[in-house]
Amino acid sequence: MQADSGVHGLIGKIHDAALDSQRWHALVAELPALLATHTGIELPPDARDSDAVFRYFGLDADVQQVFHTTAAAVQRRHGGFIPFSGSLDAGARLSQQESATVALLVPHLRSALACHQRLTRAESLARAATTALEATPFGVVVVDTGSTILHANGQAKSMAAQSRLLRMPPGGVLRATRQAEDAQVQNLVRGALRSAAGGTGHAFADGGSLRLGMAGGPQLHALVAPLPAVAAHHAGGGAAAVFLSDPMARIGSLALILRKVYGMTPAEALLTEALVNGDTPAEYARARQLSMSTIRTQVRTAAAKAGASRQADLIRIVLTGPAVLRHVA
């Protein structure tokens, strides 16, 4: 009875380790106690071998051989892998009780490793996705039921803090500062969530937009869109994205990336940056004390390098291209 209790306790620890790779060391240290003939399990401290994942547990094998050549790898939360291995004494045979124990443990070890691998991939994808959101020039806030904030990128937080038109406490509720605007925001979010939960949302088609703030003061443009792809995996009944832009904001420094992406000269890149931010050629010429002839030549050559023939097309290409993405450290 005590042995059964120990096995079942170990099964719980196996699944705990699937959620926390730091527990694998303690787990494998307990395995020898269940097998009298087992020599122990070695944990190479400096091994890093991603190919070892499921090297053994993914194979169909007789349970008698499980601890002869056990090898698997558990990914560390912050990178790298922890391979562990074990072996029986040469010629050792498991008793009937030990064979039953191994037969009981192996499916749990396999499922725990599979679960751990899926969780690790999901965490990696989540980190990559949130990092990618930091590159967009838009503020992005993902919310679920009740406008509860699941994630807000740095641009969204900055826009909210500078304009004071939105409140978005971490893990709190997204709200507009003005009561009338907040009612609009909540109504749009509720509509987007209903659309997402029903599986009828089609990105921006089922969303809504509004302008926060008043002329002469800080303003934000908001677009609310359902996220139906999230609804199938989200127990809260769907999610929605709120995209924010500041109509008065300048895009910022583009010169370096314009040179890299389009091969512009420093002068062409600086001029293009000014045009994208709303300056006219005449205004730029006066500010730089350049002739209009020089400016026209630079616009023409910059446009040609971007694959355009007109100033308007040059601006359109830059605004819809990779140059406007923010650098992510």
Sheet holding 81-88: strands in order across?
Answer: 38-42, 81-88, 70-75
Host H or E run for residue 73: strand 70-75
Average pLDDT over residues 134-141: 91
The 10s digit of each residue's pLDDT in 32-72 is 666 554 444 444 444 333 333 333 333 333 333 433 334 34
d(CA 7, CA 305): 69
pLDDT confidence tier of residue 164, bands split at 50, 70 and 90: very high
Task: Look up residue 238 and give its two tokens.
Answer: 């769907």
pLDDT confidence tier of residue 194, bands split at 50, 70 and 90: confident
pLDDT confidence tier of residue 25, bands split at 50, 70 and 90: low
In the chain the first and final C-alpha atoms are separated, in Å, by 56
Q: Is 135 in contact with 173 (CB distance < 8 Å)?
A: no
- The yes or no reply on domain 136-245 and CATH 3.10.129.10 is no
Closest of 58, 45, 52 to residue 74, by C-alpha:
52
Q: Is the pLDDT of residue 311 over 80?
A: yes
- The yes or no reply on domain 255-324 and CATH 1.10.10 is yes
pLDDT confidence tier of residue 74, bands split at 50, 70 and 90: very low
Q: What b/e string do you get for 237-249 counting C-beta neighbours within 10 Å, with b at 16 or more? A: ebbbbbbbbbeee
Q: Is the pLDDT of residue 214 over 50?
A: yes
Average pLDDT over residues 194-204: 62
Domain assignments of the chain as residue spans, ordered by start: 2-131, 136-245, 255-324
Closest of 72, 62, 76 to residue 28, by C-alpha:
72
Burial environment of residue 44 by CB neighbours within 10 A (0 to 12, 13 to 18, 19 or more) = exposed
pLDDT of residue 75: 40
Q: Is 129 in contact with 153 (CB distance < 8 Å)?
A: no
Q: Is the pLDDT of residue 253 over 60?
A: yes
